[in-house]
Amino acid sequence: MHHFSYRDGSLFAEDVDLRVIADAVGTPVYVYSSATIERHYQLFEAAVGAAAPMGKAHVFYAMKANGNLGVLKTLAALGAGADTVSEGEVRKALAAGFPPERIVFSGVGKSESELRFAVEAGIYQVNIETEGELDLLSKVAGQLGKRQEAVFRVNPDIGAGGHAKITTGSSENKFGVSFEEVGRLYSRAANMPGVRMMGLALHIGSQIRETESYEAAYTKMVALVGTLRGEGHRVDRLDLGGGLGIPYDIPKDLTGRDFDHGPGLIEAYAAMVGRVTKGLDVELGFEPGRLVVGNAGILLTRVLHLNPRPTKQFLVVDAAMNDLVRPAMYEAYHEIWPVAEPEPGAAEVAYDVVGPICESGDTFTTGRLLPALKPGDLIAFMTAGAYGASMASTYNQRLLVAEVLVKGGEYAVTRPRQSYEDLLGTDRAPPWLA
Ligand code: LLP
């Protein structure tokens, strides 16, 4: 369930009318619902916590999905950990109040300075993805007189996910050390002063809406735990990654607005985890991103112009692919809800909804049936809380989009729209042209 619904003819985020936010903050603007974030986090945490062997499960929110400070603080307050993939994310997680001992640092290409920062900060775990990184981490931590706890991210050669660009677990993908190499690397690490290997991690992809691929990959990992232990290695932790998908297609009949995660997907996933890891003496880790924030955010935009053609009708809105790149990049589908509630049975028009950017790829959808709209009307791209604002850019010298967090009847601008001073002020002319 999410907390965007129609009241008295207008779309609300919790108890706040989206028209009020659009008028006060301007558009385009992302609007997040605290209650939805909290609910989805708690649902997931309770399910995997109950399924984990000995009830030991740590949930590290994958903050690449949405790094808004208000969102992060909401999750930190619930006791969530953070899964980070850059020094910037580690810094932001700390600034948002995640204690270092609840921060995991993953990523294919961590630099020496990034590793140094993370080790110095005292984070919980580094997920090592290459042999070179193992050497680098041990060197850096050794120099700091520390021994960093780490796991190997293993590539299980089982990929899954909603789009080729977000599949990560296949051996054709760049992620993780190969299954065959882990034993050798574990042995090497045992003699290194700067690392303490604690276990294994994997992440097979994103927007995965079945449990079979997970089960196949996790089963391989559990076998690997046994093999490594047989070789005398310590394997206390198993980080099972993120990637559980969410529904983007909200039923047109808006009376059934409870469109959570599909019939029992979280429950089925947790049950499978329980089954596969049963009796295994490990602490489980999870890195959900989209699942926590996806349905908790919308992108609110205003219609600028209509552009009728003989064969179609373009609806030009003030949001563009720089604000929400998922349709252009992954052919992603986002529901569009008009902020003014459509009259039952109102006539519909097929629109190509496009942004102002100077390329045809700046198309959110084609032939989408919506009630007739006119310039000034507001519409919402639903399910835009994950990988929306976090992937926004300033392409076409457009201002970085504003973000708002709602809690009950209150809202706060947690990221003001970038100013033109900020946008242009960081540029420097070369001396020969100054
Ligand atoms: N852990 C690791 C190591 C990851 O690489 C990712 C996502 C996650 C966790 C969280 O996955 P989630 O639970 O959010 O699926 N921009 C794309 C999605 C890219 C996902 C990248 N990795 C999109 O908009 O669909």
pLDDT tens-digit profile of 77-121? Answer: 999 999 999 999 999 999 999 999 999 999 999 999 999 999 999
Helix (H, G, I), strand (E, B) or coil at 424: helix
Cα distances (angstroms) measured from residue 129 to each of 24, 80, 160, 185: 45, 24, 19, 11
Name the residue at shortest CA distance from atom 15 of ligand 1.
243
Which pLDDT value is given to residue 262? 53
- For residue 358, being part of any structural domain is answered with yes
User: What number is the average pLDDT over the span 187-198?
Assistant: 96
Spatial separation of the C-alpha atoms in residues 105 and 81, rounded to whole Å: 11
Domain boundary among 236, 258, 293: 293
Candidates 177, 183, 179; CA nearest to 108 is 177
Domain boundary among 272, 293, 314: 293
- For residue 434, being part of any structural domain is answered with no
User: What number is the average pLDDT over the span 52-57?
Assistant: 82
Place of tokens 């008028």: 23
pLDDT above 90 (res 70) = yes
When mean pLDDT is compared across 39-53, 165-179, 362-376, the lowest value belongs to 165-179
Which pLDDT value is given to residue 39? 94
Which pLDDT value is given to residue 162? 74
166 lines ligand 1 (CB under 6 A): yes
Query: By CB neighbour count within 10 A (0-12 exposed, 13-18 middle, 19+ buried), where does 363 fall?
Result: middle
70 lines ligand 1 (CB under 6 A): no
Are 287 and 336 found together in one domain? Answer: no
- For the sheet with 4-7, list strands across it: 4-7, 10-13, 16-17
Which pLDDT value is given to residue 153? 96
Q: What is the pLDDT of residues 114-150, one digit of tens each?
A: 999 999 999 999 999 999 999 999 999 999 999 999 9
Place of tokens 């993939």: 85
Are 262 and 379 found together in one domain? Answer: no
- What is the bridge-based pairing of β-strands 29-33 and 378-381? unpaired
Are 200 and 346 found together in one domain? Answer: no
156 lines ligand 1 (CB under 6 A): no
Spatial separation of the C-alpha atoms in residues 86 and 116, rounded to whole Å: 12
Atom of ligand 1 nearest to the CA of 326: 24
User: What number is the average pLDDT over the span 249-265?
Assistant: 55
Atom of ligand 1 nearest to the CA of 106: 3
* Residue among 347, 358, 424, 434 flagged as catalytic: 358
Domain extent for 252: 34-293
Q: Which tokens belong to 351? A: 């629109």
Atom of ligand 1 nearest to the CA of 161: 15
Are 351 and 227 found together in one domain? Answer: no
- The count of domains in the chain is 2
**DSSP bridge partners of 4:** 13
Are 272 and 302 found together in one domain? Answer: no
Place of tokens 């909804």: 353
- For residue 404, being part of any structural domain is answered with yes
Name the residue at shortest CA distance from atom 7 of ligand 1.
206
Domain boundary among 260, 293, 326: 293
- For residue 432, being part of any structural domain is answered with no
What's 42's domain CATH number? 3.20.20.10
Which pLDDT value is given to residue 255? 40
User: What number is the average pLDDT over the span 348-371?
Assistant: 97
Query: By CB neighbour count within 10 A (0-12 exposed, 13-18 middle, 19+ buried), where does 274 fall?
Result: middle
Are 393 and 369 found together in one domain? Answer: yes
- What is the bridge-based pairing of β-strands 81-84 and 103-105? parallel
pTM: 0.96
288 lines ligand 1 (CB under 6 A): yes
Do 105 and 94 touch, CB atoms closer than 8 A? Answer: no
- For residue 425, being part of any structural domain is answered with no
Are 96 and 168 found together in one domain? Answer: yes
Q: Which tokens belong to 202? A: 């994997």
pLDDT above 80 (res 6) = yes
269 lines ligand 1 (CB under 6 A): no
Is 358 an active-site residue? yes
Helix (H, G, I), strand (E, B) or coil at 256: coil
pLDDT above 50 (res 252) = no
pLDDT band at 347; cut points 50, 70, 90: very high
Spatial separation of the C-alpha atoms in residues 64 and 165, rounded to whole Å: 16
User: What number is the average pLDDT over the span 288-307?
Assistant: 97
Helix (H, G, I), strand (E, B) or coil at 293: helix
Average pLDDT, the chain: 94
Which pLDDT value is given to residue 258? 44
What separation in Å is there between the alpha carbon of 76 and the centre of ligand 1? Answer: 19
HEC per residue, 331-382: CCCCCEEECECCCCCCCEEEEEEECCCCCCCCEEEEEEEEECCCCCCEEEEC
Which pLDDT value is given to residue 158? 85
Are 171 and 258 found together in one domain? Answer: yes
Atom of ligand 1 nearest to the CA of 289: 14
Are 246 and 309 found together in one domain? Answer: no
Are 14 and 51 found together in one domain? Answer: no
pLDDT above 60 (res 260) = no
Candidates 10, 11, 27; CA nearest to 320 is 27
pLDDT band at 254; cut points 50, 70, 90: very low
Which pLDDT value is given to residue 259? 45
Are 287 and 303 found together in one domain? Answer: no
Do 300 and 27 touch, CB atoms closer than 8 A? Answer: yes
Do 273 and 228 touch, CB atoms closer than 8 A? Answer: no
Probe target for ligand 1 pocket from 58, 129, 165, 206, with the most ligand atoms within 8 Å of CB: 206
User: What number is the average pLDDT over the span 200-224?
Assistant: 96
What separation in Å is there between the alpha carbon of 287 and the centre of ligand 1? Answer: 9
Q: What is the pLDDT of residues 160-188, one digit of tens each?
A: 777 777 777 777 777 789 888 999 999 99
Are 146 and 207 found together in one domain? Answer: yes
291 lines ligand 1 (CB under 6 A): yes
